[in-house]
């Protein structure tokens, strides 16, 4: 969960005549933090709050802003140095008001920010409620207002520890958990799913441990990942801590999108993020040339130059959900539908809201081609039906999908480039030696893709049993994030519903997905006569960057031959 660190002190300065030594401020629990960027040099004029250096730990990147305007006289750090709170950064010849003083409405105490470390902004302490209990309220969540409660993580009677998450709120930009300011027992909930809350909204009534009022000095704050505030505090790029998608998918079924926990946000410091935002650059498209692939200002410049060179007017038109699109497309039409007849506005489900942008990304960024084929499953279906009695005795519904998984694994072994992912830099294909098959499951809330792990090591009965179990979990919204991660290839079966073919969208970072439509009896020419055969339509969408058409045709032909004679899975 991206979280704003507790510490938020301003850089300290000690007077040395007309100059001040700017020190590393309170940076929370971080110790021996590496200086990864020095953003100024001697002779530079800096304004109050201008970033001086960037520090990075394995969990966060933070910029240390100048406590006041002035001229840099001497640098005390260089890239690669390890620093702690109080370490000298540089000597500044004061040439303007300290940052805190510059804020005319700031309280007097805050005006001393340039002189001494300030304390972390306290979370609103629980206010007293009748019966020795206290009201826990939404703390300072930055500029976010009326954010939706998407999870209530506790219920009345629950004992909670200090900092245990109570609720999760979500805006269109961030998902954040609100932790408990104190240990205690939940007496009463004041919010429910779907409520809109802002700073100060009541969350719940908490009775402190042993019936006492919870400690009023609690200071844990969950804050939005990308909010930048005008303060002299370090700016923490907490978005670098944890990828957003796995966080969002923490307790709810995930959509048809990558659920790979290793998928990280672009590695860049807050100022670079801001710079990129100002230019409308999507950092995920920029290759970093800094240490550990970090994106530098030059990389953003280079990216913009490249785009300009390719297109005369690289307008970043807003997509339907507000994201920047890398194409010069006309703006989404704003239509007043009510002008034409009665309407009803229905919010998208949570799964749809998460999966929509991922599907959109996959659709526009992967060059899809769909190869259609069909498999003669007459014998297979006869075998499945003949096995039905035996399978039912074992409590398993032996579905066609279980055989499809089995046959797909056999084909994937034969064509390893289909069981692969393109490396983010586009230079290598990662071939996976394991076979985790994602299965699209239709639920009332939307599509989710649980993954059958190690499908190559399971028999058809085991696969059928597991499919029944994950479909049930998906529909009961009980899938865990891990159940939806690590897929190497996906199957989307609409055979139980109908249709003759469709073009499934690849579930990135996978490179192919098999769509299956409804089987039907068809006349098939044997060379001498037409015979009635049960034919299963297959639609294989593949990433044309890594798979060419001939390979795709070979893959579906082979898969079709395996389904026509399932004994091939034994070979």
Q: Which of 71, 81, 64 is nearest to 25 (CA)?
A: 64
Q: Where does 455-528 have alpha helices with state H?
A: 460-475
Alpha-carbon gap, residue 451 to 455, rounded angstroms: 9
CB of 10 to ligand CAO, least distance (A): 51
Query: What would the DSSP string read from start to end of 317-343?
Result: -B-TTS-B-SS--PPPP---GGGTS--
Residues 450-479: x where in contact with ligand CAO by CB under 6 A, - otherwise, as a string: ---------------------x--------
CB of 464 to ligand CAO, least distance (A): 8
Q: In what order do the strands lie in the sheet with 196-197?
A: 175-179, 165-170, 147-152, 196-197
- In this chain, which stretch among 198-206, 261-269, 298-306, 399-407 interacts with ligand CAO, using CB under 6 A? 399-407
Catalytic residue, chosen from 267, 301, 436, 544, is 544
CB of 327 to ligand CAO, least distance (A): 23
Q: Is residue 447 a contact residue for ligand CAO (CB under 6 A)?
A: yes
CB of 258 to ligand CAO, least distance (A): 16
CB 91 within 8 A of CB 44: no
Residues 514-553: x where in contact with ligand CAO by CB under 6 A, - otherwise, as a string: --x-xx----------------x-----------------
Count, residues near ligand CAO per rule CB under 6 A: 19
257's CB contacts (< 8 A; 6+ apart) are 245, 354, 355, 358, 359, 362, 449, 507, 508
CB of 516 to ligand CAO, least distance (A): 5
Cis, bond preceding 488 (omega within 30 deg of 0): no
- In this chain, which stretch among 56-64, 228-236, 291-299, 494-502 interacts with ligand CAO, using CB under 6 A? 494-502
403's CB contacts (< 8 A; 6+ apart) are 380, 384, 460, 563, 566
Q: Report the largest interatomic distance among the alpha carbons of the chain, rounded to a whole angstrom.
A: 104
- In this chain, which stretch among 15-23, 37-45, 134-142, 397-405 interacts with ligand CAO, using CB under 6 A? 397-405
CB 240 within 8 A of CB 60: yes
**Binding residue for ligand CAO, selected from 496, 499, 523, 549, defined by CB under 6 A:** 496
Residues 26-65: x where in contact with ligand CAO by CB under 6 A, - otherwise, as a string: ----------------------------------------
Binding residues for ligand CAO restricted to 411-440, rule: CB under 6 A:
439-440
- In angstroms, the Cα distances linking 443 to 200, 352, 448, 449 are 36, 11, 7, 10
Q: Which of 264, 269, 308, 306 is nearest to 290 (CA)?
A: 269
Binding residues for ligand CAO restricted to 140-169, rule: CB under 6 A:
none
Q: Where does 394-535 have alpha helices with state H?
A: 400-414, 460-475
Closer to ligand CAO at the Cβ: 42 or 523?
Answer: 523
CB of 402 to ligand CAO, least distance (A): 7
Pair of tokens at residue 364: 């526009």
Closer to ligand CAO at the Cβ: 252 or 400?
Answer: 400
**Binding residue for ligand CAO, selected from 400, 448, 540, 559, defined by CB under 6 A:** 400
CB of 396 to ligand CAO, least distance (A): 12
Alpha-carbon gap, residue 522 to 536, rounded angstroms: 10
Q: Which of 273, 290, 291 is nearest to 282 (CA)?
A: 273
Annotated catalytic residue 544 = yes
Pair of tokens at residue 490: 């996906």
Closer to ligand CAO at the Cβ: 36 or 536?
Answer: 536
CB of 374 to ligand CAO, least distance (A): 11
Pair of tokens at residue 302: 């280079």
Q: Degrees (nearest 5) of the Cα angle 19, 10, 180?
A: 170
Q: Within 13 Å, how many C-alpha atoms sit on residue 434's CB side?
A: 10
Pair of tokens at residue 434: 């394991």
- In this chain, which stretch among 294-302, 309-317, 395-403, 539-547 interacts with ligand CAO, using CB under 6 A? 395-403
**Residues recorded for the chain:** 571
CB 163 within 8 A of CB 157: no
- In angstroms, the Cα distances linking 402 to 12, 154, 380, 480, 511 are 64, 38, 12, 22, 21
Q: Which residue is nearest to ligand CAO (CB)?
A: 495
Pair of tokens at residue 157: 């009677």
**Binding residue for ligand CAO, selected from 2, 243, 504, 509, defined by CB under 6 A:** 504
- In this chain, which stretch among 217-225, 268-276, 361-369, 486-494 interacts with ligand CAO, using CB under 6 A? 486-494
Binding residues for ligand CAO restricted to 259-278, rule: CB under 6 A:
none
Phi and psi at residue 568, to the nearest 5°: -65, -25
**Binding residue for ligand CAO, selected from 401, 448, 452, 535, defined by CB under 6 A:** 401
CB of 361 to ligand CAO, least distance (A): 15
**Binding residue for ligand CAO, selected from 72, 186, 191, 494, defined by CB under 6 A:** 494
CB of 447 to ligand CAO, least distance (A): 5
Q: List residues near ligand CAO by CB under 6 A.
A: 399-401, 439-442, 447, 471, 492-496, 504, 516, 518-519, 536
Point out the residues that are catalytic. 544
């Amino acid at each position: 969960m991206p979280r704003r660190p507790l510490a938020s002190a301003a850089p300290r300065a000690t007077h040395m005549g007309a100059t001040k030594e700017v020190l590393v401020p309170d940076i929370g629990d971080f110790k021996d933090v590496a200086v990864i960027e020095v953003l100024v040099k001697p002779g530079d004029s800096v304004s109050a709050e201008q970033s001086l250096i960037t520090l990075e730990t394995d969990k966060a990147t933070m910029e240390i802003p100048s406590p006041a305007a002035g001229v840099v006289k001497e640098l005390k750090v260089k890239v690669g140095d390890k620093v702690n709170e109080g370490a000298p950064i540089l000597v500044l010849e004061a040439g303007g008001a300290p940052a805190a003083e510059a804020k005319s409405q700031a309280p007097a105490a805050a005006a001393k920010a340039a002189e001494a470390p300030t304390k972390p902004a306290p979370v609103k302490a629980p206010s007293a409620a009748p019966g020795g209990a206290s009201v826990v309220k939404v703390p300072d969540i930055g500029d976010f207002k009326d954010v939706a409660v998407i999870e209530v993580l506790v219920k009345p009677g629950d004992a909670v520890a200090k900092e245990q998450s109570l609720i999760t709120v979500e805006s269109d930009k961030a998902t954040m958990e609100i932790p408990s300011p104190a240990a205690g027992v939940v007496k009463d909930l004041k919010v429910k799913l779907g409520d809109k809350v802002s700073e100060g909204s009541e969350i719940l009534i908490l009775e402190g441990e042993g019936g006492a009022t919870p400690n009023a000095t609690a200071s844990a704050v969950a804050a939005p990942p990308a909010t930048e505030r005008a303060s002299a505090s370090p700016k923490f790029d907490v978005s670098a801590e944890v990828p957003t998608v796995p966080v969002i998918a923490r307790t709810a079924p995930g959509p048809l999108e990558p659920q790979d926990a290793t998928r990280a946000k672009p590695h860049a410091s807050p100022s670079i993020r801001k710079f990129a935002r100002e230019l409308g650059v999507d950092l995920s498209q920029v290759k970093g040339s800094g240490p550990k692939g970090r994106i530098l200002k030059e990389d953003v410049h280079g990216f913009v130059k490249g785009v300009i060179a390719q297109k005369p007017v690289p307008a970043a038109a807003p997509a339907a959900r507000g994201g920047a699109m890398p194409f010069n497309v006309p703006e989404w039409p704003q239509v007043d539908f009510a002008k034409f007849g009665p309407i009803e506005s229905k919010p998208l489900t949570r799964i749809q809201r998460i999966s929509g942008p991922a599907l959109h990304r996959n659709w526009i960024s992967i060059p899809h081609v769909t190869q259609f084929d069909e498999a003669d499953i007459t014998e297979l279906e006869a075998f499945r039906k003949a096995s039905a009695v035996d399978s039912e005795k074992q409590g398993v519904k032996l579905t066609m999908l279980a055989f499809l998984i089995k046959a797909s694994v056999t084909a994937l072994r034969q064509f390893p480039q289909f069981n692969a992912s393109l490396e983010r830099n586009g230079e290598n294909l990662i071939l996976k030696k394991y076979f985790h098959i994602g299965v699209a499951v239709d639920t009332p809330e939307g599509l989710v893709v649980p993954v059958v792990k190690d499908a190559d090591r399971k028999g058809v009965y085991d696969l059928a049993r597991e499919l029944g179990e994950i479909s049930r979990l998906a529909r009961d919204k009980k899938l865990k994030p891990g159940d939806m991660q690590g897929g190497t290839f996906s199957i989307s079966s609409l055979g139980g519903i109908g249709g003759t073919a469709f073009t499934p969208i690849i579930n990135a970072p996978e490179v192919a997905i098999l769509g299956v439509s409804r089987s039907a009896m068809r006349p098939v020419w044997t060379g001498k006569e037409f015979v009635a055969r049960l034919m299963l339509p297959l639609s294989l969408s593949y990433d044309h960057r890594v798979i060419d058409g001939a390979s795709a045709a070979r893959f579906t032909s082979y898969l079709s031959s395996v389904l026509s004679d399932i004994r091939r899975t034994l070979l």
